[in-house]
Every structure is written in structure tokens, then in C-alpha cells.
Amino acid sequence: MLTSFVLLSVFLRGVVGQFPTACTTAQALKDRRCCPQWKDGSMCGVDSGRGRCRFMHQTYSDKRSYTQPNDDRLDWPHEFYDSVCVCNGNCAGFDCGECKSGFRGAKCTEKKTIIRREIHELSRQERLTFFSYLSLAKLKTSARYKILITGNRYDRNTFRFVEASVYDVFAWMHFYSFAPFLQNNMFDATINLAHEGPNFLPWHRWYLLFLEREIQILTHDYDFALPYYDWSMDGRTCSICTDDMMGKSDNQGLLTSSSYFANWKSICSGFNYPNKYCTDAEDKCRMEPLHRNPGADPNNRQLDSAQQVEDVLQWKDYDTPPHNSTAKHSFRNCLEGFVDPSSGEVTRRSLHNLFHMYMGGTMSLVPLSGNDPIFLLHHGFIDK
Ligand SMILES: *[C@@H]1O[C@H](CO)[C@@H](O)[C@H](O)[C@H]1NC(C)=O
């Protein structure tokens, strides 16, 4: 597990958001360099003091000793690049052109707090604005990022970068984190980059910040904050599963046609091919619509209550050995939802995991779950 934590740290540090379009050109891939020009014309904005293009040392010095091919996420980002932008101060982003969350201004020195609110507290107008931002993020092809697809993970010649909207880039990232780990030419089920370990909370926090920032950039609304959904008051009824909120589903599990998200389709629907990445990314006809069945699964009918949310806060150790889904008295493991939050040791599906299973459909399939915008609201609450 420590290994995957290290991997994750590398994953986060290297390239912010995979993959910046400027780094998917034949030249960038040949030079093994992901150092886009900022608007001052210099790589990583070096002439303006924002950052610089730096060679990254390999963490896994023995990587070359593995039988090729191995997982492209191992020793990130060296499968693709040896140099990436390293930003100064509060500058951030793949070209150091953005500011870290919580900062703004020409030099990213001004502190700025934006507050995420519970979705029921938004006015109708604010909610409609949120939905229109989501539609734009879902529909507009991103000029900033592409996604990686493969016909065969064992064959680098089948790797391709294709266009996607920024919401689909977001959904793809969750898929990418969850693809089975390939090592020594075999799948290693003990490595999970974003779940079942200490990385769960920081990975998902950074993941929400990514989309929040990209929506800000897309809409030029730098005060935009993702809302969250506190399901702990709801018991058995999903109060946001209505057509004026996140959408109602019919008895087939499809969103009703009057839902704002009725036409959304899941990128990477054909996720159940361990040896391929996201084969349906260019073919909307093959992508499945969103599915939900809130409360329909007899084993996951009742959401955890406010008391259970309080209970998780009693665990003062962020995580405990063996740092996986069996960890006892671990804040992370209780919140992630493998263990009952009051005892800290009884195995049961709780909090985070329970909500995913309660929703059923797209939300209950980890590789696809980021496709459903309810994911944002749920994880915003977990992140709180
Ligand atoms: C958790 O870690 C322990 C110790 O490394 C290992 O024996 C066990 O199989 C792991 N369990 C899971 C579900 O990963």
C-alpha cells in the first residue's frame, strides 16, 4: 500500500490533468517533454517567473529491469515524459498558468476563499447556473486536454490521444486510476491508485479541485464552487433525485426525459476490458446513458445517518496498518466505507461506499462512477 501511496504522490506531482493537449503532439512525445508554453511564449512561463521545465528523476530505478511492457502509470510520468513544468510559489497547472486553489491574482499571491454549499441551499437560479456550467463542461470539446485510449495495453503502437470534453476528461481520469495494474506483464490486483488506501481522500480532493478549476476556466466564473449533497438527512429517499435537481430515474434505471442529464452518456462504458483503455471514447453510439436506481438494491437501501457521519470523526488516526480495506479504527477506512464507523472494526458497507451502492447503476461501477454528476455532490460531502 505504501507503494501505491508513493505512486500516487508521483502521479499528482507530475502532470496536472492528463493529458494537456500541447503534450500530445508528435514532437512533445518524441522529446519526452510536457512543458507547454504559457502566454508569455516561454515554457512553463519561465520568463515571467511562474515555473520552469524540469527533468524528473525516475523513482523506480529498476523499471527497465521489468519485462516490458509494464503499466504506463508506473513511475509517472516517465512512460510519456521525462520533463514537466514545476511551478513556483502558488502558481499551478500544467503550464504554471493557473494559481493553486485558494489563490488568485497576477502572481497568485492574493488569498481567496470560495465556499461550497449544500445543493438544497442554492437558489433555483444558482442551481440552473450550475447545471448550465455542467452542460458546457460535458458538451464542449476541451482545448486544454486529451484522453488516452488504447486498442491493447500491451502494445504501445495502439496508444492514441483523442479529443474529449473537460467533463469527459474528468470521468476518464477516474477510469484511468482504476484500470488494473500491469506489472511484469501480469495484472497485480493489490495495487489500486485511488481507492482502498490512504490515497483515497487526497486523490479525490484533488480530483474535485481539478473539475472545479476547469469549470472556472471554461466559464470565466472564478467564484464558482461545486455544491455538495448531505445525504445523511435522507434515510431511504434520495431528495435530489427529482427532475428539478439531479434527475429522476424510471423503472429501467434511465433518467426521465425531463431530467437535465437525460442525454448524458458514460465515456469508457466498455470498461470491463482490463487490457484496453476506453475503447468507446470516439463513438457516442457505443456509450451507455447514465443509469441510477436509488434505494432499489435490498442490501443498500438505507443511507447512513448524521450520527454515523459524527461517529466517523471519533477516529483520530487518519489511517492504520495494513492501510487497505481491512484497516480497523481508521478514519479513512470508515469514511471510505469498508468498516462500520461506530465500532471502527465491524466490516460493513458504510458512508462513501454505501452511497455509491445505494444509487446503483453508473454510480455503483467504480470505473464509470465519475460520469454521473451526482458523483461530484457525493464526493463534495465526503471531502467536507
Ligand atoms: C490487506 O493487507 C494485508 C497485509 O498486507 C493483506 O494480508 C491483506 O490480504 C490485504 N487485504 C486486502 C483486501 O487487500
Map 118-163 to HEC letters.
Answer: EHHHCCHHHHHHHHHHHHHHHHCEEEEEEEEEECCCCCHHHEEEEE
Could you tell me how many helices (H) and strands (E) the chain has, helices first?
9, 11
Cis amide leading into 180 (omega within 30): no
From 39, 22, 41, 40, select the one nearest 31 (Cα to Cα): 22
Average pLDDT of the chain to the nearest whole number: 92
pLDDT per residue over 24-70, tens digit each? 999 999 999 999 999 999 999 999 999 999 998 877 655 554 455 68
Amino acid at 286: R
Q: Which three cell numbers stand for residue 335?
A: 469514511
CA–centroid distance, residue 280 to ligand 1 (Å): 34
Q: Is 325 in the pocket of ligand 1 (CB under 6 A)?
A: yes
* CA distance to 16, 222, 376, per residue, from 214 (Å): 11, 10, 14
| Protein residue with its CA nearest to atom 3 in ligand 1 | 322
Res 9 pLDDT > 50:
no
Q: Is 326 in the pocket of ligand 1 (CB under 6 A)?
A: yes
Q: For position 217, what pLDDT does the model report? A: 96
Res 271 pLDDT > 80:
no
CA-190 nearest atom, ligand 1: 14
The answer to whether the beta carbons of residues 85 and 67 sit under 8 Å apart is no
Res 196 pLDDT > 70:
yes
pLDDT per residue over 81-129, tens digit each? 999 999 999 999 999 999 999 999 999 999 999 999 999 999 999 999 9
CA–centroid distance, residue 197 to ligand 1 (Å): 11
CA-325 nearest atom, ligand 1: 13
pLDDT level of residue 365 (50, 70, 90 thresholds)? very high
Strand partners, 87: 51
| Protein residue with its CA nearest to atom 13 in ligand 1 | 325
Strand partners, 181: 188
Res 3 pLDDT > 80:
no
The answer to whether the beta carbons of residues 325 and 377 sit under 8 Å apart is no
| Protein residue with its CA nearest to atom 7 in ligand 1 | 322
CA atoms of 297 and 158, how far apart (whole Å): 39
Q: Is 333 in the pocket of ligand 1 (CB under 6 A)?
A: no
β strands within the chain, DSSP E: 33-34, 51-55, 83-87, 91-92, 98-99, 103-104, 110-111, 141-150, 159-165, 181-183, 186-188
Q: List own/partner pairs for 19-23 with CB under 8 A and 24 or more apart.
A: 19/80, 19/145, 19/146, 19/147, 19/148, 19/161, 20/94, 20/95, 20/144, 20/145, 21/142, 21/143, 21/144, 21/145, 21/146, 22/94, 22/95, 23/80, 23/81, 23/94
| Protein residue with its CA nearest to atom 2 in ligand 1 | 322
CA-324 nearest atom, ligand 1: 1
Q: Is 59 in the pocket of ligand 1 (CB under 6 A)?
A: no
CA atoms of 90 and 312, how far apart (whole Å): 33
Q: For position 50, what pLDDT does the model report? A: 98
CA–centroid distance, residue 326 to ligand 1 (Å): 7
CA–centroid distance, residue 306 to ligand 1 (Å): 30
pLDDT per residue over 345-363, tens digit each? 999 999 999 999 999 999 9
pTM of this structure? 0.94
| Protein residue with its CA nearest to atom 5 in ligand 1 | 322
From 373, 215, 365, 382, select the one nearest 312 (Cα to Cα): 382
CA–centroid distance, residue 324 to ligand 1 (Å): 6
Most informative mutation of 192, 196, 324, 332 for ligand 1 (most atoms within 8 A of CB): 324
From 19, 381, 4, select the one nearest 204 (Cα to Cα): 381
The cell 518524441 sits on which residue? 30
| Protein residue with its CA nearest to atom 4 in ligand 1 | 322
Indicate the DSSP class of residue 289: B
- The set of residues, in sequence order, having a beta carbon less than 8 Å from that of 32 and lying 6+ positions away, is 80, 81, 82, 83
